[in-house]
Structure 1
């Protein structure tokens, strides 16, 4: 598994945007605000957003699952030094073997998450390389029920996923606690929005403000040509995080049985916490009594 480097590809907004020089709400200390206008952007129209799959935008840290490869690109001095194992993101343009920056002056890429890597210990708590397993949240076969389960890493190859949990982005979903931190992965595009959305700002604002399903960080449209288009609540001047996000207001089942695996897991591994809750179902994800996951 690999975690993004200091830069990553920017997904364009679904609507035209304007920048206002006023305090932003997305990041602390941000001196500007990016707001959507009333028109769909040219990139969204070119990608045929009207026939795209709308999914929940999850507030976490992006990861990429791939087989380990080494790259030794020679980058210009204008860019940060990367390790030999740094992997460029898909779609990065090359000219004569030289990687080219995007329109924002970035060359997005990935760096490995390896054992003993302290900066990425929470990423590591969601994978076990010895058994080849990942801890994943996904929709269950039953309507509207989520499932925490183990998935072979080989089934996630070449996918990007979002890491969320106690120590990620201020924990907007209220998962676990400092004594029992929990983290897991969500495949991008797996949390589909059930009801069709009309693509005008007034209706989308109403959906974000009034629909229980609209209590999300944003929307990512997966277009048929592979292009991703997003809309963040901050693009509409709306609050995030929320006290009761849709993700943790849904029922959850836990299916994490480690008895048939020989796992050498860290004491803080989220595998162990959810394994102690194996077989249980909760009416609301947010109501999991983490004290039940005691050693």
Structure 2
């Protein structure tokens, strides 16, 4: 029996939202946008969001570390989506109904096939042993990233299964204001989610690497805490996003003490992203890995070897790091 993977289906907005008939600021060709109202989401209020930990929402793709075939493995996000016929039927149903709750899915026939190794994400509801699609008609889930994967080659470049390590960007252990790029054992990341950012992810807003020398890094979710977050109040958050250097981020994710996560994206406030140099790019970075300690070939061409050749060096900004081609 397949076990369920970590992380809930979807992180809700910290405020209640409404739909505006205007072109989306987030998704190309989407002719509407979801915007925040000034009313706090009851789920956030019940979770005491005002006393939660505010962290930077990064613009990448979600990943997950868990065991696969007896070893720690990186998993890529893969939502199971309806086929054309079922999607057309679902959208037609939504035109005449205010909720999708009464729509009937046939999981065996209505959805595109996924690899046998696919597993649904934690939080996906089940009925009669079958996963239930979310309000968008998707079933969030994960697939393991193989060493030689072509479809997930950028994910694969950030892990080395021979050494059992991941290439991680995180706050430096000695100085939290400084970031570090380190080789972290996958065993230390088990059952955690991370964001993959880099050259070929979401138009690369952080300017990592180049076409000739792509760079992709994993950032643990919740690792980049916001030092002076504003109160969870619509007008104060809007002012913060407008005025503060630290607010040049895609959004905020609040980690509540009861485990609930809620978020606010810039587009929820009608603001553009990216908007100038991201705050991540203003922070100094130190390279804190050595392949000699990992017993790997420092002359190889992978990212671990390239960063290892810069071991101990510091940079004013992450985009200042230029790897050998």
TM-score, shorter chain, exceeding 0.5:
yes
Matched residue, 2:197: 164
Structure 2 residue runs of 5 or longer lacking an equivalent are: 1-7, 71-105
Matched residue, 1:5: none
Choose from 122, 127, 147 the match for 1:90. Answer: 122
Does residue 1:111 correspond to 2:143, yes or no? yes
Matched residue, 2:89: none
Measured in 1, the distance between the counterparts of 2:138 and 2:28 equals 22
Matched residue, 1:182: 215
Q: 1:35·1:236 contact (CA, 8 Å) conserved in 2?
A: yes
Q: Secondary structure at the match of 1:163?
A: strand
Distance apart, 1:80 and its partner CA = 2.2
Does residue 1:278 correspond to 2:308, yes or no? no
Does residue 1:134 correspond to 2:157, yes or no? no
Q: Secondary structure at the match of 1:248?
A: helix
Matched residue, 1:4: none
Distance apart, 1:69 and its partner CA = 5.7
TM-score with structure 2 setting the length: 0.82
- RMSD (CA atoms): 2.2
Distance apart, 1:264 and its partner CA = 6.9
| 1:17-166 to 2 correspondences below 5 Å | 17-68=17-68, 75-140=107-172, 141-166=174-199
- The one-character-per-residue Cα deviations of 1:248-287 (angstroms, maximum 9, x if unpaired) are 1101111121013244799663223312221101122233
Distance apart, 1:37 and its partner CA = 0.9
Aligned residues between the structures? 283
- The one-character-per-residue Cα deviations of 1:106-138 (angstroms, maximum 9, x if unpaired) are 321101111221111110000000110100001
Matched residue, 1:294: 324
Measured in 2, the distance between the counterparts of 1:93 and 1:221 equals 23
Query: Please, which moves more after superposition, 261-270 or 197-206?
Result: 261-270
Q: 1:89·1:108 contact (CA, 8 Å) conserved in 2?
A: yes
For the structure 1 residues 143 and 113, does the alpha-carbon distance in structure 2 shift closer, same or farther, using more than 3 Å as the test?
closer
Distance apart, 1:185 and its partner CA = 0.2
